[in-house]
Amino acid sequence: MRSKAMSVNDALSILNSGDEITISGISIHRNPISFLRYLTSSGIRGLSFVDREPGLGLELLLRSEIVKRIRVAMSTLEWFESIPPYFRRKVEAGEVEILEDTCGAFMAGIRAGAFGIPFVPVRGVLGSDLVEIHEKKGTWKVIEDPFSGEKILAVRAINPDVAIIHVHKADEYGNAEILGPLYEDEFKAKAAKKVIITTEEIVDREYFKGRRPNITTLHVSAVVEMNRGAEPTSMFGLYDADYDAIMKFLEGVS
């Protein structure tokens, strides 16, 4: 089995300008911040970003002006800001293209991508103005339930070009363990065309004997060891969110 452990620069070569990316965690928890800092200075530009509930990681990318298109259900920094400031400013100024999603529809799309099927049907969105917007984009479509004949919404599979996922432990082959909340990260890893794992620790392959990895080598393109790689967001069981550092990040943003 080939080792997938590599340097940050080698892992960055997996990404291309114009790619659609997704990242791990939500809000101020388990974002791959260290890797994103390298990404912002890599020269890669014009990225699309898709996620359910991003926060600080997306703010970092928006501040660096490397994201041009966003598809999210919501963006939040919890009690720090009702709407994250860079997100608000870029969207209101028309500097990024925004496609509003819903949590349920995003979950349907990322599950479809993970399961290798073209779409997943959902209820509860019909009647929203978002339906017409997404139908024009080709991401949702109102169809007829073949069993009941009623109208139902088909959410097209979401298959990001690259998922960047920070984990607690990984071996050099890409088997990875996440402790605490998983959010949608198992689905993201299976749905994405390529996966970059950043990890607090690279462990011996024997570590996973008798353990079920949350993400397996089958889906992973690169493994990069990055101790405290989620800071200043939190890492379950290892460190809390650094509120002072987050406040400093937000200082001076109007």
pLDDT tens-place string over residues 65-112 = 999 999 999 999 988 777 899 999 999 999 999 999 999 999 999 999
Contacts of 49 (CB under 8 A, 6+ apart): 20, 21, 22, 58, 61, 67, 69, 70, 71, 72
C-alpha torsion sign, points 9, 189, 73, 227: negative
C-alpha span between 104 and 8 (Å, rounded): 34
Residue 68 and residue 184 in one domain: yes
Residue at 39 is within a domain: yes
Residue 128 and residue 164 in one domain: no
* Burial class of residue 227 in the structure, from the number of CB atoms within 10 Å of its CB (0-12 exposed, 13-18 middle, 19+ buried): exposed
166 contacts 30 by C-beta, under 8 angstroms: yes
Q: What is the mean pLDDT of the chain?
A: 96
pLDDT tens-place string over residues 7-34 = 999 999 999 999 999 999 999 999 999 9
Residue 137 and residue 167 in one domain: no
Q: ω before 232 within 30° of 0 (cis)? A: yes
| Structural domain count of the chain | 2
pLDDT tens-place string over residues 232-250 = 999 999 999 999 999 999 8
Residue at 217 is within a domain: yes
Q: Which two tokens stand for residue 148?
A: 């009941």
Percent of the chain with pLDDT over 90: 94
User: What is the model's pLDDT at position 127?
Assistant: 92
Q: Which two tokens stand for residue 153?
A: 């919404």
Residue 77 and residue 51 in one domain: yes
pLDDT tens-place string over residues 134-145 = 999 999 999 999
Residue 167 and residue 144 in one domain: no
Residue at 71 is within a domain: yes
Residue 74 and residue 21 in one domain: yes
pTM: 0.96
Residue 188 and residue 208 in one domain: yes
- In order, the DSSP letters of 104-118 are HHHHHHHHHHHHT-S
Residue at 134 is within a domain: yes
Tell me how far CA of residue 246 lies from CA of 22, 55, 58, 59, 79, in angstroms.
21, 11, 13, 11, 11
Contacts of 88 (CB under 8 A, 6+ apart): none
Q: Would the pLDDT of 55 be above 70?
A: yes
Residue 163 and residue 241 in one domain: yes
> What domain range is 135 assigned to?
119-156
C-alpha span between 208 and 229 (Å, rounded): 22
Q: Would the pLDDT of 254 be above 60?
A: no
Confidence label for 252 from pLDDT (cuts 50, 70 and 90)? low
> CATH number for the domain including 205?
3.40.1080.10
Selection from 97, 40, 92, 39 nearest residue 71 by Cα: 97
Residue 197 and residue 213 in one domain: yes
Residue 89 and residue 179 in one domain: yes
C-alpha span between 131 and 227 (Å, rounded): 42
Count Cβ atoms below 10 Å from residue 1 Cβ, excluding itself: 9
